[in-house]
């Protein structure tokens, strides 16, 4: 059986509920492909050059830091550059946090849709199953005394098709969403550390008598 014929058979068995779930699966796939492209274009998780710029800045070499920063293709590079230029401006910390939050919010676009699909797909599948069970019992009632057990068995497995399709849509969507959210969470931590490194350079954490204490170094000239 060809894939098209198999898909047509599933649609005939599951009815409009399966059709809605298939549309949701196509939409989920489109959003996933777009997010993967967006993450790749923004350099999410690839901050090697930017990290070297931050290390140079933290070590007291702003010239090397700016040189490294110009080579970075990270979406955070413009924000870090602005932090270097205006780190002594009063209240700049809140503005930089807002700009970083806006950049991360762009990465999170589409997450709400994926979350909705992951939660709604199983419910739609269950709804389709309930409708199928109702039809099966109506067929039994119409049969009267000439009840054929195969009617009930056939109605049940047809009804369960929608539940299976709903779970098949929800499970990969939930996994993809969790992966995207974990990547974004790491980006948030890195962005916060990068801004703090620019605004408060030379602050390293080293163990002192079994504890951790900040050791201040001279600020950049």
Q: Give the confidence band of 217 by pLDDT, cuts at 50, 70, 90.
A: very low
Q: Among residues 178, 177, 180, 198, which one has the least CA distance to residue 42?
A: 180
The pLDDT tens digits for 105-152 are 999 999 999 999 999 999 998 888 888 787 777 776 676 666 566 666
Q: What integer pLDDT is reported at residue 85 of this predicted model?
A: 84
Q: Would you list the DSSP string of 36-96? A: HHHHHHHTTT--HHHHHHHHHHHTT-HHHHHHHHHH---TTHHHHHHHHHSTTSTTHHHHH
Rounded to the nearest integer, the mean pLDDT of the chain is 81
The pLDDT tens digits for 170-204 are 999 999 999 999 999 999 999 998 888 888 876 65
Q: Can you tell me which residue has the tokens 């700049």?
A: 92
Name the residue with higher pLDDT: 19 or 177. 177
Q: What integer pLDDT is reported at residue 133 of this predicted model?
A: 80
Q: What is the DSSP letter of 217?
A: -
Name the residue with higher pLDDT: 40 or 159. 40
The pair of structure tokens assigned to 214 is: 């900040």
Q: Map out the domains of the chain as residue ranges.
A: 3-201
From the CA atom positions of the chain, what is the Rg in Å? 28
Distance CA 191, CA 79 (A): 9
Q: Mean pLDDT, to the nearest integer, of 57-72?
A: 86
The pair of structure tokens assigned to 11 is: 């649609």
Q: What integer pLDDT is reported at residue 11 of this predicted model?
A: 60
Q: What integer pLDDT is reported at residue 218 of this predicted model?
A: 40
| pTM score | 0.76
Q: What is the DSSP letter of 101?
A: H
Q: What integer pLDDT is reported at residue 95 of this predicted model?
A: 85
Q: What integer pLDDT is reported at residue 7 of this predicted model?
A: 58
SS3 147: coil
Q: What integer pLDDT is reported at residue 155 of this predicted model?
A: 65
Cβ-proximal residues to 208 (8 Å cutoff; 6+ apart), any chain: none
The pair of structure tokens assigned to 133 is: 């069970």
The pLDDT tens digits for 34-59 are 999 999 988 888 888 888 888 888 88
Q: Would you list the DSSP string of 16-34? A: HHHHHHHHHHHHHHHHHHH
Q: What integer pLDDT is reported at residue 8 of this predicted model?
A: 64
Beta bridge partners of 211: 208
CA of residue 174 relative to chain centroid, distance:
9
């Amino acid at each position: 059986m060809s894939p098209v014929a198999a898909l047509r058979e599933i649609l005939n068995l599951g009815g409009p509920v399966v059709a809605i779930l298939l549309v949701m699966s196509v939409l989920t796939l489109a959003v996933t492909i777009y997010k993967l492209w967006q993450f790749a274009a923004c350099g999410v998780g690839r901050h090697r050059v930017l990290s070297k710029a931050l290390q140079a800045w933290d070590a007291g070499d702003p010239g090397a830091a700016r040189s490294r920063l110009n080579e970075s293709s990270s979406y955070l590079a413009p924000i870090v550059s602005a932090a270097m230029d205006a780190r002594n401006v009063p209240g700049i910390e809140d503005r930089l946090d807002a700009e970083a939050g806006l950049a991360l919010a762009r990465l999170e676009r589409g997450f709400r849709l994926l979350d909705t699909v992951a939660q709604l797909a199983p419910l739609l599948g269950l709804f389709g199953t309930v409708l199928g069970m109702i039809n099966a019992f109506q067929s039994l009632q119409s049969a009267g005394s000439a009840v054929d057990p195969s009617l009930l068995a056939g109605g049940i497995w047809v009804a369960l098709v929608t539940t299976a399709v709903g779970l098949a849509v929800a499970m990969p969507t939930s996994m993809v969403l969790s992966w995207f959210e974990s990547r974004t969470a790491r980006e948030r931590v890195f962005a916060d550390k990068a801004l703090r490194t620019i605004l408060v350079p030379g602050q390293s954490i080293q163990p002192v008598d079994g504890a951790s204490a900040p050791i201040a170094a001279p600020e950049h000239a």
